Structure 1
Amino acid sequence: MKIHFAPLNVPLRRRLQTAAVLQWIFSFLVLAQCCLATFILLSFSAWWVAALLYVGWLWLDWDTPNRGGRKCQWIRRWSVWEYFRDYFPIKLVKTVNLDPDKNYIFGFHPHGVLATGAFCNFCTESTGFSSLFPGLNSHLLMLPFWFRLPFFRDYIMCAGLVSSSKSSLSYLLSRPQGGNVAVIAVGAAPEALDARPGALTLQLRKRKGFIKLALRHGAHLVPVFSFGENELFDQIQNPTGSPLRSLQDRLQSILGIALPLVKGRGVFQYSFGLLPHRKAIFTVVGKPIQVTASPSPSSEDIDALHEVYLEHLSELFEQHKHENGLQEDQHLTFT
């Protein structure tokens, strides 16, 4: 394989963009393990008292990820996220105004390998979420497992990440004065195993839990489609039923996280590595679907609203696909 090396005269700004993405990849793939190792080392060192104090804090703070988290605007506004945004680049597009007196569920599609657009748009202010949607407070839902890891949990909560448990989502949607936005990558980890350039298949047919909670709390549903999300990494072919896919599905059921075998680019060469490709991400927030609260929604109510959601998502995709380089015969498929 011929390796395509980066030129030596790369502008400083592009180098900073690469560094910003590199630290994010590190945070996503390695930081949790580093935080756990640090805690273990503290526990068996002369600083064991600090570890003990943190355990006390952890006990007092254990339920915070299920109760709206603990957002830090200073971290969300770090200049590093502007370089992160410009690496791809990433753009957040509003189609209609949203009433800040209502609570919302943003269904984010597709999940992609690392839900890059979801993080940049809803866990940082680099694309101007607060300016585009004044009065709304965004929270990106993440697997509960990550909030059990010492130190790491505190860092990710600062960005607006909260647990994806039902109690966490219910807490956000039950805020009486409104203003909360729960962002859910609906396809979740299994959809990441299908994330490759050109993929337009979403795992949505059987995913109705967010619909049920929207009905229970009267939270409005907003479809969000992130064009370019699947273009960031190449993935080894793993069709359903293949030995590799069976192994990945098995590991996903055990660990709760997907383990896609992907290829991106490196820091000093463009042929392979774990950095995403420089592909534009265009995240479009659609118009809200009005939902009337129903404390005990029937299966028929859930199915009906689910179909409405799929229709709105398809319409959003069709309205914006041409400006993102897609052809007329390219459509979303739901499985």
Structure 2
Amino acid sequence: MAEVGGNVKLWSFVAMFMWLGGFHVNFFVGVLCVSQLPSLWAFTVLAIWVTLMFLPAEYNTPLGSVVARFIVKHATNYFPIKVIFEDKEAFDPNQSYVIAAEPHSVLPLGIVILTPQSGVLPVNKLRALASNAVFWSPLVRHIWTWLGVAPVSRKSFSEFLKKGISCIVCPGGVQECLYMREGSEVVFLKQRYGFIKVAMEAGSPLVPTFCFGQSNAYKWWKPRGKWYNQLSRAIGFTPMYFWGRFGGPVPFRTPMYYVVGKPIPVSKITNPSHEEVSVVHGKFIGALEALFEKHKRDLGFEGSTLEVY
């Protein structure tokens, strides 16, 4: 097997670029059309790119399944990623769970080990939810859909759970990117009550998870200022430039450890009050902080701190 710098096998590099390269490809296509191509060529390329945004993207198709399995197999070995369960026997395969994945970091890369194709999580049905902005991105929308990722909305989230389908969500979302700092782990949860309420309405236990090492996968740069924060909130994601190996989209190889906590039982309440939601919300944040503190030393992150906003 051919190798790329640093003993990365070629197929691993290809898989990582397929999974994550779309963001950079879209950026450079836009720059090329605006700054280099004649008007007719620029219009043609942009028209093709816009068309890609509307081509149907369906989960569990034959081609999609092959591509997804290829990416998951090679991506998990690339870093590599290891999953640690606090109590795997506590899961009921027929129960739907809210798998709350933290932190978001530049991209929540670690969840690739939790996707349906990996078979790691002990549940029968599983989907991941991501920002709608991802699904307006040519190339990215197809790859991520094939990996089992769906656009996040309160309606889709609730419907999945009620159908017995567990959902992986990053409750802090792209908002966490606004608070990111080098050398610090950041989660944005103090104002995030929605995922708790949806879980309670469905009677789905909450599962705190934390991915150690994920924040080291990319270098990044972002503007500063109030205008940038307002823009990020308005468009639903945080525009920033990030890079990995060779200055491109393939992340740096950094070992990751995905710790999956014990499910937190919730009472099924059709329309829980804010006070009821707040109680469960507090339990979740406490469980996540305890999970982080319990495992950071053993996994080699003794000097790391977790900041909750």
Provide TM-score, normalisation by structure 2: 0.80
Report the Cα offset of residue 165 of structure 1.
0.4
Does 2:260 match 1:265? no
Match of 1:293 among 262, 268, 293: 268
Corresponding residue of 1:71: 60
2:100 and 2:171 in contact (8 A); partners too: yes
C-alpha deviation, 1:94, in angstroms: 2.3
Q: How many residues end up aligned between the 2 structures?
A: 290
| Deviation at residue 115 of structure 1 after TM alignment | 1.0
For residues 135-146 of structure 1, what are the structure 2 equivalents within 5 Å?
A: 135-146=123-134
8 Å contact 2:207–2:262 — kept in the other structure? yes
Is contact 2:82–2:258 with CA below 8 Å preserved after alignment?
yes
Superposed displacement of residue 161, structure 1: 0.7
User: In 2, distance between residues paired with 1:100 and 1:214?
Assistant: 17
Q: Which residue of 1 aligns with 2:16?
A: 21
Task: Describe the shift of the 1:101–1:30 C-alpha distance in structure 2 as closer, same or farther (beyond 3 A).
Answer: same
- The 5-angstrom pairing of residues 215-254 of structure 1 reads 215-236=200-221, 244-254=224-234
TM-fit CA distance, 1:191: 0.9
Aligned residues with identical type, % of pairs:
26
Q: Is the Cα contact below 8 Å between 2:68 and 2:146 reproduced in 1?
A: no
Identify if the C-alpha distance between structure 1 residues 133 and 80 changes in structure 2 by more than 3 Å, giving closer, same or farther.
closer
Q: For the residues of structure 2 that align with 1:137 and 1:332, how far apart are their CA atoms?
A: 31
- What is the rounded CA distance, in whole Å, between the counterparts of 1:16 and 1:253 in structure 2? 37
Give, in angstroms, the shift of residue 89 of structure 1. 1.2
CA deviations over 1:126-158 (Å, ceiling 9, x no partner) = xx4x2x434432211112344456786454322
2:175 to 160, 171, 190: 190
The answer on 1:91 being equivalent to 2:82 is yes
Runs of at least 5 residues in structure 2 that lack an aligned partner in the other structure? 30-43
In 2, the alpha carbon distance for the partners of 1:76 and 1:16 equals 12
Q: CA deviation at 1:285?
A: 1.0
Decide which of 90, 97, 100 is 2:93's aligned counterpart: 100
Q: Cα deviation per residue 1:59-115 (whole Å; 9 max; x = unaligned)?
A: xx9xxxxxxx73357336533432222221112222223101211101111001011
Supply the distance in 1 between the matched residues of 2:93 and 2:155 (Cα, whole angstroms). 22
Q: 1:113 to 1:150 in 2, by over 3 A?
A: closer
Counterpart for residue 110 of structure 2: 117
Partners of 2:184 and 2:304 within 8 A in 1: no
Distance 1:290 1:145, change over 3 A: same
1:309 aligned counterpart, secondary structure: helix
Q: Is 2:199 the counterpart of 1:204?
A: no
